Homo-oligomer: A and B are copies of this chain.
């Protein structure tokens, strides 16, 4: 069936205003924020309800048309790029917050609700949503990639913050995974299986999200170190001491330099840790004091902390704008980021090795890290039109992943597999990959849900 026929039939089924074959719209849905090449869907569908999604999924099954769910387009591994064409299922019109149960610290949302939208809604209740991947992603997209970020060291990743999901399966059936209880030993843990499945096992239409009480006191700190090893080792010391740190972010000196240039600021061009503490006023200050001592023991040369909201926001600007400032220095180049996560005892070695590798491979890169989780990103500025540049960047990432897997880590801590990490799946999962393939094949026998992503059917 050609696109115009699909358009006519789908329009008749769910309404013409929910379907588009406009090339600009298709181009918007053919890419994400990764370096991966765009690939256009044949058409874009904008469902407004679970029933709409069921209709589209049944239609796709009947005519064997691929379906790729699409959220905010902020993915970093190409998970939402429709490499086999078909339908891009844009979830942004399903953006209603349906129910809040503040006593249970739970909220029910449609999957197109974004992180910032939810936090804005929650504030009057004294609550917040804890997963912070940086981008203002949709919650459905975040659940699909098991997103995490700066606060995961304290509050967990999406898997720990999604209590239940409404999913439309490949055969059009709607299932509900999970329960509203804090724990369960009933049946197989489908909830944990679907989180992180990147649209390959079903389309998420609603989510029950765990939220948290806004703490009494928040203090942020900035710590400078003479070198990257002492900086990372200081972060490990904080984790080992059991301090309930909420954020602990490594920002490498090239980022600091880029930020200074971008904002005319004068931070010392050395590796930094940016930290955040939350709790009661008493407990927070106790944690800050112990942390400052630990940092000093590891060679910290300067430690400052602030508590006012404005001062905290200013302090975090360096971290939040680091990548933007870095890419601003490399106009015309694209960002390629690694996302390895290693056991915490290995993080200092892994970051040092990555820095040395950048040097020996003569690559322009810088390191950002959620070092409390063992997760760090090396950002490369790559000329994607230059084969040599691109292959050198790929070679760097391959060596980094090989190192992470050798020490028991993973190729992706939070971005997902998408297109870019498929080649590492066999190495990482070994014989377990076949088990994943069996699950995919029995839940999506026609391989129509986000085909060509995460898992290879063969």
A327-375 with Cβ < 8 A to chain B: 339, 341-345, 373-375
Query: Chain B residues near A179 (CB, 8 Å)?
Result: 341, 408-410, 428
CB of A62, distance to nearest CB on chain B (Å): 20
Please report the C-alpha to C-alpha distance between residue A32 and residue B351 in the assembled complex, in whole angstroms.
50
A403-458 with Cβ < 8 A to chain B: 404, 407-417, 421, 424-425, 428-436, 438-443, 454-455
With most chain B CB atoms within 10 A of its CB, the pick from A148, A186, A195 is: A186
Please report the C-alpha to C-alpha distance between residue A182 and residue B341 in the assembled complex, in whole angstroms.
8
Contact-residue bracket for chain A: 35 or more
Please report the C-alpha to C-alpha distance between residue A430 and residue B343 in the assembled complex, in whole angstroms.
39
Q: Do A185 and B442 form a contact, CB below 8 Å, given A345-B103, A409-B180?
A: no
A146 at the interface (CB under 8 A from B): yes
A177 at the interface (CB under 8 A from B): yes
A169 at the interface (CB under 8 A from B): yes
A159 at the interface (CB under 8 A from B): yes
Q: Let me know if A185 and B417 touch, CB within 8 A.
A: yes
Partner of A177 from the list B104, B344, B374, B432 (CB cut-off 8 Å) is: B432
Digitize A149-189: 1 where CB-to-B-CB distance is under 8 Å, 0 elsewhere: 00010000101100000000100011111011111111111
Partner of A242 from the list B160, B192, B215, B240 (CB cut-off 8 Å) is: B215
Please report the C-alpha to C-alpha distance between residue A345 and residue B102 in the assembled complex, in whole angstroms.
9
A385 at the interface (CB under 8 A from B): no
Q: Let me know if B431 and A173 touch, CB within 8 A.
A: yes
Please report the C-alpha to C-alpha distance between residue A176 and residue B432 in the assembled complex, in whole angstroms.
6
Please report the C-alpha to C-alpha distance between residue A340 and residue B10 in the assembled complex, in whole angstroms.
45
A145 at the interface (CB under 8 A from B): yes
Query: Chain B residues near A187 (CB, 8 Å)?
Result: 417, 425, 428-429, 432-433, 436, 454-455
Q: Let me know if B373 and A185 touch, CB within 8 A.
A: no
Partner of A439 from the list B146, B429, B439 (CB cut-off 8 Å) is: B439
Please report the C-alpha to C-alpha distance between residue A160 and residue B190 in the assembled complex, in whole angstroms.
15
Please report the C-alpha to C-alpha distance between residue A196 and residue B179 in the assembled complex, in whole angstroms.
15
CB of A223, distance to nearest CB on chain B (Å): 21
Q: Let me know if A185 and B416 touch, CB within 8 A.
A: yes
Query: Chain B residues near A441 (CB, 8 Å)?
Result: 442
Q: Let me know if B344 and A190 touch, CB within 8 A.
A: no
Query: Chain B residues near A174 (CB, 8 Å)?
Result: 431
CB of A66, distance to nearest CB on chain B (Å): 19
**Nearest B residue to A192 by beta-carbon distance?**
B192
Query: Chain B residues near A432 (CB, 8 Å)?
Result: 175-177, 187, 190
Q: Let me know if B185 and A409 touch, CB within 8 A.
A: no
Q: Do A180 and B408 form a contact, CB below 8 Å, given A169-B435, A193-B192, A283-B286?
A: yes
A17 at the interface (CB under 8 A from B): no
Q: Let me know if A185 and B146 touch, CB within 8 A.
A: yes
Digitize A127-163: 1 where CB-to-B-CB distance is under 8 Å, 0 elsewhere: 0000000000000000001111000100001011000
A280 at the interface (CB under 8 A from B): yes
A293-343 with Cβ < 8 A to chain B: 339, 341-343
Partner of A188 from the list B106, B343, B439 (CB cut-off 8 Å) is: B439
A388 at the interface (CB under 8 A from B): no
A205-241 with Cβ < 8 A to chain B: 213, 215, 236, 240
Q: Do A193 and B185 form a contact, CB below 8 Å, given A175-B430, A430-B175?
A: no
A282 at the interface (CB under 8 A from B): yes
Please report the C-alpha to C-alpha distance between residue A189 and residue B454 in the assembled complex, in whole angstroms.
12
List 22 contacting pairs A-B, 8 Å CB cutoff, sorted by A. Answer: A103-B236, A146-B189, A173-B431, A175-B430, A179-B408, A179-B428, A181-B342, A181-B373, A181-B409, A182-B373, A183-B375, A184-B341, A185-B339, A185-B412, A186-B421, A188-B193, A188-B436, A190-B436, A192-B192, A193-B193, A244-B244, A438-B443
List residues of chain A with CB under 8 Å of any chain B CB: 101, 103-106, 145-148, 152, 157, 159-160, 169, 173-177, 179-190, 192-193, 195-197, 201, 213, 215, 236, 240, 242, 244, 280, 282-283, 286, 339, 341-345, 373-375, 404, 407-417, 421, 424-425, 428-436, 438-443, 454-455
